[in-house]
Structure 1
Amino acid sequence: MSDLRAELTKILDEAEWEWLIPHVQRDAVILVAPELNLLDVGVAIASDHIPSVQQWIEQQLITKPTTVQVGEWNSDAFSELRQRTKRFNTLIVQPYVLVQEIAAV
């Protein structure tokens, strides 16, 4: 398991909203609540740890983005008032892209 965690740590990254749009369109994005550790969620999904994943789903700590959220992210990305585009911490665990919003500064 530590090897899996080490491998996932290497691919933990940051992405702009625009880069994630194709993955949202193919229904592959999973939104991870800020109170969870993105790496812990990735390890649980990759290792098929069903009890943890099921609990997070039931508590709505991991979800698919809603159309409202996608609309907000789209408007944030294209708003002229925003200096910086919306960004996310990301982790690819095939076939999913796990994302966690980065709070605007």
Structure 2
Amino acid sequence: MKPTKEELALQVDVAEWNWLRAHLERGGLIVVDREIDIAEVAERIARDDTETVGAWIETGKLSKPNDEQVATWDANAGTSFSTLIISPYVLIKEQ
């Protein structure tokens, strides 16, 4: 059974960049645009909704961290993110 958006919303946590850096190294971080609900993204990934997830990727609403973002976050290691694990990924949304 796939988790619901409501169940996933209860699992959203907050983490600082320095706690997330290791996930970047293994390629597991996905940046969620501020306009999208992180629990909805996790639900769509869990349901293999390739159409919606693909559209978000095409429009830049979901992406891997780029070099500029990483440099900014490295300079401000205390930057906080909403986080949600949807294995094998860690979804992050800058607060």
Q: TM-score, normalised by structure 2?
A: 0.93
Instruction: Report the alpha carbon displacement of residue 67 of structure 1 after superposing the two structures with TM.
Output: 1.3
Structure 1: which 5+ runs fail to align? 78-84
How much is the aligned-residue C-alpha RMSD, in angstroms?
1.5
SS at match of 2:15: strand
The one-letter code of the counterpart of 2:53 is: V
Report the structure number with the largest CA radius of gyration: 1
Structure 2: which 5+ runs fail to align? none
Q: How far, CA to CA, are the matches of 2:89 and 2:50 in structure 1? A: 16
Identity fraction in percent: 39
Q: Contact 2:6/2:39 (CA < 8 Å) preserved in 1?
A: no
C-alpha distance 3-42 of structure 1, shift in aligned 2 (>3 A) = closer
Q: Deviations over 1:21-57 (max 9, x none)?
A: 0000100000000011111111000110111001001
The one-letter code of the counterpart of 1:91 is: L
* Segments of 4+ moved more than 6 angstroms: none
SS at match of 2:4: helix
Instruction: Report the alpha carbon displacement of residue 11 of structure 1 after superposing the two structures with TM.
Output: 1.4
Counterpart for residue 89 of structure 2: 96
Counterpart for residue 59 of structure 1: 59
C-alpha distance 18-31 of structure 1, shift in aligned 2 (>3 A) = same
Instruction: Report the alpha carbon displacement of residue 5 of structure 1 after superposing the two structures with TM.
Output: 2.2
Q: Does 1:8 align with 2:1?
A: no
The one-letter code of the counterpart of 2:48 is: D
